Amino acid sequence: MATSVAAPLPVIEARAMARHVRMSPQKVRLVVDLIRGHRAEDALQILHYTKKRAARDVEKVLRSAIANAERKADDAGANLDVDELYVSTCFVNEGSRWKRLRPAPMGRAFHYQKRTAHIIVAVAEHHVAATDRVAAAAAAAQADKGVRGAVKRARKALTGQQGKQARKPKKEKE
Give the Cα separation of 32 and 38 in Å (integer): 11
On the question of pLDDT at 93 being above 90, the answer is yes
pLDDT in tens, 40-80: 999 999 999 999 999 999 999 999 999 999 999 999 888 88
On the question of pLDDT at 103 being above 70, the answer is yes
Give the Cα separation of 61 and 56 in Å (integer): 9
Give 84's DSSP letter. G
For residue 133, the model assigns a pLDDT of 74
Mean pLDDT of 18-40: 96
- Whole-model pTM: value is 0.73
Phi, psi torsion values for 138, nearest 5 degrees = -65, -40
For residue 161, the model assigns a pLDDT of 63
pLDDT in tens, 114-136: 999 999 999 998 877 777 777 77
Give the Cα separation of 63 and 40 in Å (integer): 9
For residue 167, the model assigns a pLDDT of 54
For residue 43, the model assigns a pLDDT of 96
Residue ranges of domains in the chain = 13-125
Confidence of residue 156 (pLDDT cuts 50, 70, 90): confident
Mean pLDDT of 6-35: 90
Give the Cα separation of 97 and 154 in Å (integer): 63
Fold that domain 13-125 belongs to in CATH:
Ribosomal Protein L22; Chain A (3.90.470)
